[in-house]
Structures are given as C-alpha cells and as structure tokens.
Chain A
C-alpha cells in the first residue's frame, strides 16, 4: 500500500511541474502590468520614471528566465513570493481567505450528500415512476441553473421578503457559530444544489447498475428483497462511484466558487483569484493556480485511495 501511495505521489510531480511552467509563461504574455494599475488608479499624475523604478523594485525588468528561476526556487523551499499588489507574502494572503472557501466547499459537499444519496437511491428504486421523473427534473435543473444567478436570487429574496441580509464579515465557526452559519449557509446552498444534482445522477445510475446484477435479481425473484445483507452489500457497491464523484466535484468546486464569491461578497480564494487576474498580480495568480492544481491532484489521490479501501477488487496488489 505504501509503495502505491509513494508511486502515486511521484506521478503528481511532473503534472505540477508542467502546471508551474505553463502558468508562468502564459501570464508573462498578458499586456499591461500591475505597476501601472497600482500607481495610476483614480488618475494620478505619476511620471514614467516612477513607474519604471517600481517595476525594477518588483523585479519585472529582469530577464524572464531569471524571474522563472527565482520563482521555481521559491516553490521548492515553500516560499510562494510576495503579492505584487500589496507587498504582503502570498502565503498570508491565501491563509487569511482559505478557511472561508474551504468551509463553504465542505458545507456544500455535506448538503450535496445529504440531499443526493436518498434522492438518487429512491429515484433508482422507483424507476420510471413520477418520483423518478421529479428527481430527474430536479437534478437536471440543478445542472442547468447558473449558481451565480441562484445566488443573486437568494440574496435579493432575503432582502425583499425578510428585510434581512447576511453578515458582511467572516467570523470563524469556533468564534461565533451563529454568525458564521448565517453568512455561509446561503452560498453553500447556491453551490450545493448543483453539487447535489451531479451526485444524485451518479447515485441513481450506479444504483440502477447494481440492481441489474444477477445476485440482486435472484434475491428479488426469491422474494428476499427485505434482506438487509443483500441490500447493504448492493448499496455499498453502488456508493463507490458516488464517492468518486463527490471527491472530484469537491476539487472542481474550489475553482467554481470564483463566481459565487463575487455574488455573496465573500473574502475567499475565488474572489482573490479574480482580483489578482484583474490586476495582473502575476505572483499571486501563479501561486493560486499552483495551489488549486495541488488541491485537485491531491483530491484525486485521496479518491483513488478511498476507492481502493472501499472496493477490494481495486486494491493494489490484490
């Protein structure tokens, strides 16, 4: 098992390396840079000399290869650099915002699983009935409705109907759970709906597939449908692909929160990313992309391992 893990981690390295190289060189092609934006906002008269001096200070005038070298070197030692916009270390910028995004993602995942597993299962068990159709329409709507639109509707409805708006600053859960929840439950719902739809569809199709298995059909024919042993075994097999989907969607979600955080004014990684791209803050953009890629790759790894744990057939060395 351990060698399997190590091998998989080793496979991650070239991917991450590729992401690093691609990101770095892509960004340098973008016209316009952070210095102009920083100094000239709201129409100040700054001389070109000043702009150039700041550019030199940020190291933007060095040859690309040198800049790349120092960035790669920094990655290896864990130094993600300093934001070109604020001058603060990138790790600090990310750190402040990470817990919020993570919490919304986890809450969305929980909502998704809680809704999707029962609905998907029922939809499969009562296939082609009105219940099945209702669930299918519910899930396809979940995939169709843009989550940012749903978010807008939620916020505006709260305001119009209840004359209430969610708290505007983030309080960590352990400090004030009520404040925290009343702020984050809404984006979690907006994003969780779509998440639930994806998972429900997977649950439905995998339950359907399991139900087609010979041993299930035999059991049903024999009238032992209530047999808990059979059902539990069937459900466990059916959940495997669902677990995969939950894991993969979680990785997608972190990136997908980009738009939702704008709508709900959340100080999270997604909004930071949009701001960084808008300001051409290369260092921050690079670091965020590396971070998101890392999350994705690690999540894949975890899902693979989990799959191995749950399904003896897939376990390496079996």
Chain B
C-alpha cells in the first residue's frame, strides 16, 4: 500500500482515478473510519460556511437575551453575554480545525523533515538530532505548550493565533520525528538511495523526491492522530486562559471561566462545547485508526 501512496504522490494522468478507487475501497473496508471522515467533512463544511449558516455574529453581545435557553430564536441557547451558542460553536469549529490542522501539519512536517534528515545522514547528525529530540520529549506536552505560550505571548494575524499554533506544534515535532525516522531508516537502506547519491543527485533532491513519498503512509496517520491531540491541547490551553482569548469563539474557552456557575440555569453552556470537542477528537481518532489499519499490511485480513 505504501507503493500505492507513493504512486499517488507522483502526479500524472489517472491520478484522480486511482485516488477515487482507493477511496471507494477504504469506504467499504473501514466503516468506522468512513464515519469519522464524514463527521470531519461535516465539521469542515460547518467551519467554512459558518458565515453563511450562522444566524448571529459570534461576538455580538446581546444583553437582553442573556442566558436564554434553547428556543427557535437561539437553537442552542445563549451565554452570559447573550451571544448565540450555536454560532459560537460553528465559529469555534473554524478555530479548532484551523489550529488543529495547522499545528498538526506544521509539527508533523517539521518533525518529518527532521526524521528524514536524521535517517538520511546517519552517523553524528543522527546522534545529535536524537539527543535534541530526547530533550524536547522530556517535557510533558502541556508543560511545553504552556511555557511556549507564556514566552511568545499572543500574536494574531488576520484573526489566527500564530503563536498558539506554533506553541502546539512544538511538542508534536519530536514525536513525529521519531516515527518518521523509524520509517525512513527502512527506506534509506534501499539500494536505489545509494545509487542516486552515486549518481550525483543532490541530498535535498533525494530526500524530498525519493524518501519522502515512501513515508507518506505513516505521515498521514500521524497527521490525523495529531490533529486530534492538537484540538484537545488547544481546548486545554484555552480553558486555562492561555490559549484563544475572549471574545473569539473557541470550544475550550467556552468551558472556562464562570460557565460552571451557570450550570444550573444554563447547562447548555457547558454541555455543547464539551460535546463538540469530544466529537471532533472522536472523529479524527476513528479516521486515523482506520487509516492506519488500512495502510498497514499486517492488518489486512
């Protein structure tokens, strides 16, 4: 299956057809994973179309409608500022998916590149990189993210928290590096890599053109697994007050502060954001698991 992925990575005629056939097979063999994928796509659609679908502005306070229960006016109720919860959930999906995907991609790509480099060069470079990775891995994930956030502060560009994305990506880098390095070692041992070096091809070219496509499978699995982690991490950081900040909508943020105080008169304030986080992470985990099952020859029965 890695060959197929590698084949897909090479663009060319019929690539889309191969992709479509692959997707169809996936849907048949991995029902749970397909379910996860559908939920993800639904969320993405909601996030992208939030502007169009949402009845309200997520940041518009409406003090006349504070703590309103679910009703035709506000399908999921309102919070203590009178902001519509459904709207904030939809825009929160945008925040969660943006940050989750961006951090995961950034972390896995950086980690993957490091892993490829370590596997390619071997020797001292590899040992040095391993030691550095060991050091970063010694920090618990949330500790690392906390410290990075405290360090770089908050920096929003076009409404996106770049520093938060970086902070969440940092713990992912070493974990991705480990996995990709292990996979890349196998590829490095292949004779055609040495042949390419002998043939005078540049190191960067070999890494990107020959090694990278062959670690696509574990890379994709990592990507989906860490999106889930990233979403959870962002929720935790926002809950602690160190992630996305008011008045921007974010699921973890909606759970923090004194939302617990409104538990009895407005339980929807706590239930829905928590459900949203769980659903997103659930979907990505289902999909990631099934992807790994599908791509890993050992589990084909």
Where the two chains meet, the residues of A that have a C-beta atom closer than 8 Å to any C-beta of B are 14-16, 18-19, 22-23, 26-27, 29-31, 133, 136, 140-141, 143-146, 148-149, 152-153, 156, 160, 209, 251-252, 254-256, 258-259, 262, 273-274, 277, 280, 285, 289, 292-293, 296-297
Contacts and interface: CB of A to CB of B under 8 A. Distances in A.
A133 B270 CA distance: 28
28 contacts: A16-B138, A18-B131, A18-B135, A19-B138, A22-B135, A26-B147, A26-B151, A140-B285, A143-B228, A144-B228, A144-B277, A144-B278, A144-B279, A144-B281, A146-B252, A146-B277, A148-B236, A149-B274, A149-B278, A152-B274, A160-B263, A251-B140, A256-B140, A258-B142, A258-B146, A262-B239, A289-B139, A292-B139
A149 B255 contact: yes
Interface in B100-151: 131-132, 134-135, 137-143, 146-147, 150-151
B285 A143 contact: yes
B139 A141 contact: no
A256 B142 contact: yes
Please tell me the size bucket of the interface on B. Answer: 35 or more
Contacts of A14: 131
Given A30-B150, A144-B281, A259 B131 contact: no
A140 B146 contact: no
Interface in B19-37: 32
B141 to A, nearest CB: 7
Contacts of B260: 152, 156
Given A156-B260, A274-B146, A285-B147, A144 B236 contact: no
A210 B183 CA distance: 23
The 8 closest A-B pairs by CB, nearest first: A255-B140, A18-B135, A144-B281, A144-B282, A149-B274, A293-B138, A144-B278, A15-B134
B240 A262 contact: yes
A153 B252 CA distance: 14
Given A140-B282, A292-B140, A146 B235 contact: yes
A259 to B, nearest CB: 5
Interface string B35-75: 00000000000000000000000000000000000000000
Contacts of A18: 131-132, 134-135
Contacts of B135: 15, 18-19, 22
Interface of B: 32, 131-132, 134-135, 137-143, 146-147, 150-151, 153, 228, 232, 235-236, 239-240, 252, 255, 260, 263-264, 270, 274, 277-282, 285-286, 289, 298
A273 B278 CA distance: 26
B155 to A, nearest CB: 13
A136 B280 CA distance: 17
A145 B278 contact: yes
Given A144-B282, A285-B147, A15 B239 contact: no
B289 A152 contact: no
Contacts of A252: 140-141
Given A19-B139, A156-B260, A256-B142, A27 B147 contact: yes
A272 B134 CA distance: 25
A296 B280 CA distance: 29
A108 to B, nearest CB: 15
B282 A141 contact: yes
A258 B151 contact: no
B270 A277 contact: no
Given A30-B151, A258-B143, A15 B138 contact: yes
A293 B228 contact: no
Contacts of A31: 153
B143 A146 contact: no
Contacts of A26: 147, 151
Contacts of A22: 135
A255 B142 contact: yes
A189 to B, nearest CB: 16
Nearest to B132: A18
B281 A143 contact: yes
A254 B281 CA distance: 22
Contacts of A144: 228, 277-282, 285
Contacts of B285: 140, 143-144
Contacts of A143: 228, 281-282, 285
Given A18-B131, A22-B135, A146 B142 contact: no
A146 B138 contact: no
Contacts of B142: 255-256, 258-259
A255 B143 contact: yes
B151 A29 contact: yes
Contact of B32 (A19, A136, A146): A136
A289 B255 contact: no
Given A18-B131, A258-B240, A273-B146, 8 more contacts: A140-B286, A144-B281, A149-B255, A156-B270, A160-B263, A255-B140, A256-B142, A262-B240
Contacts of A255: 139-143
B151 A146 contact: no
A14 B135 CA distance: 8
A16 B134 CA distance: 9
